[in-house]
Structure 1
């Protein structure tokens, strides 16, 4: 079993019937896995290759230059550079009594699990609340303009196309999800996993990224040829390797927590992690090569209500999630990453 690869070209250029059929196929895959993969979606292979080139240049900047634009580790949206080990994805999801991953509501998770990756997060220029600290133009000429002005808008268009497809596939009015994304607060991340010995994985404390779900509506995830990404097999509780196919435009699409909330759990988020590639599984003397990924976290407007739609609340499926804003959900989840959630007040007699 693997995550299927779907040609998405008909959604932009096909007939109304072809668009509807494609939307239904994509939505059915999301129901099965919480994820699918697309090719021929409007972003060229040359453009994606260019982002990897920029990523390589960025992560090779001197440490002092990256530290000068460091992300503040609090509950606010992530902006700027995060060092290796900064995030703790193990803190955001845990298995419940029936073995399903749920949003973690307490500290009952292993606090010593470590992620081995570094990343740079940004959003559109002009965000007055959470601006991005960019590296200087002198240190990496053209990086800011190209990443923010070219690649980010293309990813945002694709994300909205996919959400429109989900609306069609669920027989919802067009704009049900995309209509609350007008402020374009989506976040884009370039991510680098440094080389890692397989022996370090045997402790069980270290992974490239521990099992988790993402926080937005959907995530677009481009990965290089290294491998190691796996999604949860819902049928067995095991893991399905997402092996790169080599298709130049291949992008994984993953359901996030916001869409789970809006559909009252009708769609489930894709639990995923990053471990050793298949070729290095169970080898104690190997070295995982460095790995690069690119992710677009498609987000609802910060003050949009992301509570369940009435369509998905029934006597058989009562409301599972509270009515809260997208920013409240985001702050809760990022606060878990950095142990920055509000602490309960303890009264002193």
Structure 2
């Protein structure tokens, strides 16, 4: 079954009059309430720049493992930068304190077959970037730094649309929480893999999970495989058709907590590509296509206290969640992803 995630022309928000901007914002919020996702076309990131970003991504992951490992993800979970080899990270919905170490061990028995490279702001000294040596990929660091801040500007506009769409008086309400310095740009590669490994459940591309920041921007290649949980049938996942001209945006846990679950943080995963182009034949085996994607995780300053906003709580609707800082919530999630 295919998903019915709404597609919205974001240029109407960027360049429209106040009435149009409000209408677009309400449409975006409506999509987030129902699906947790929206597909934005005519966004401010040029398609030529996205194409270049995917070319750099492929160049990086085409490097030999020993070269990619010159920018290693540090051990542990507190410093989330650099290169993670396949199997190092295990994504899930587990949260420290709510789940046991046994749950973590069981979850890690089925590895995520992906590799990633994490990039942040150079202005966040607590999370310094771990760059590949500049002589290996000349221009890589410069492009990705510029691209990071282009996406920060885009995400600031999405935050304005959220403020308008949920009925806050000031469209710049979230500005003090989102400086851009605490976001994360992730380059993702799902390598070709023997199809039987995925079909028999010996490995997955990415397990079902919710993102744990405020919201996420996602750009995909044409491979497909993304699935989101049905809004009406929990546990059933719907396939998302890739659109290289659109940015898929989803609400994450902190924004859901802020809104008392008025906005929906939806589980999603990456499975097999569509049947029509699922496999290639290599050495007599059926092998899944490689897949590339670029998510950009948007979050607040670490000290920001996330507590239910006034429009979403009253005597009949008590807050579902206690206040928590972004940093404390992030630790409770990231500590379950890296052993």
Same fold (TM over 0.5): yes
CA 1:87 to 1:49, structure 2 compared with 1: closer, same or farther past 3 Å?
same
**Alignment equivalent of 1:69, drawn from 71, 78, 88:** 71
Looking at structure 1, the residues matched to 212 and 164 of structure 2 have their Cα atoms a distance apart, in angstroms, of 22
**Alignment equivalent of 1:127, drawn from 124, 127, 135:** 124
Contact 1:200–1:206 at 8 Å: present in 2 too?
Answer: yes
Which residues of 2 match residues 233-312 of structure 1 at below 5 A? 233-237=230-234, 238-247=236-245, 250-279=246-275, 286-312=286-312
Secondary structure of the 2:260 match is: coil
Looking at structure 2, the residues matched to 51 and 243 of structure 1 have their Cα atoms a distance apart, in angstroms, of 21
Secondary structure of the 1:81 match is: strand
How far the C-alpha of 1:2 sits from its partner, in A, is 2.2
Contact 1:222–1:293 at 8 Å: present in 2 too?
Answer: yes
CA 1:105 to 1:205, structure 2 compared with 1: closer, same or farther past 3 Å?
farther
How far the C-alpha of 1:305 sits from its partner, in A, is 0.6
How far the C-alpha of 1:160 sits from its partner, in A, is 1.3
Looking at structure 2, the residues matched to 200 and 55 of structure 1 have their Cα atoms a distance apart, in angstroms, of 25
Q: Which runs of 5+ in 1 are unaligned?
A: 94-102, 340-349
Deviations 1:133-189 (CA, angstroms, capped at 9, x unpaired): 1011110000001110x2111111111111111111100132332321126211100
Secondary structure of the 1:114 match is: coil
Deviations 1:280-327 (CA, angstroms, capped at 9, x unpaired): 699997421001000110110111111222432223322222212111
Looking at structure 1, the residues matched to 92 and 326 of structure 2 have their Cα atoms a distance apart, in angstroms, of 22
What root-mean-square deviation, in Å, do the aligned CA atoms of Structure 1 and Structure 2 show? 2.1
Query: Which consecutive aligned stretches of 4+ in structure 1 deviate over 6 angstroms post-superposition?
Result: 280-285
CA 1:13 to 1:239, structure 2 compared with 1: closer, same or farther past 3 Å?
same
Equivalent residue, structure 2, for 1:158 = 154
Equivalent residue, structure 2, for 1:315 = 315
Of the structure 1 ranges 138-147 and 71-80, higher mean CA displacement relative to structure 2 is found in 71-80
CA 1:183 to 1:230, structure 2 compared with 1: closer, same or farther past 3 Å?
closer
CA 1:43 to 1:183, structure 2 compared with 1: closer, same or farther past 3 Å?
closer
How far the C-alpha of 1:77 sits from its partner, in A, is 4.4
- Using the size of structure 2 for normalisation, the TM-score is 0.91
Structure 2 residue 105 is the aligned partner of structure 1 residue 105: no
Contact 2:220–2:243 at 8 Å: present in 1 too?
Answer: no
CA 1:178 to 1:104, structure 2 compared with 1: closer, same or farther past 3 Å?
farther
Structure 2 residue 229 is the aligned partner of structure 1 residue 232: yes
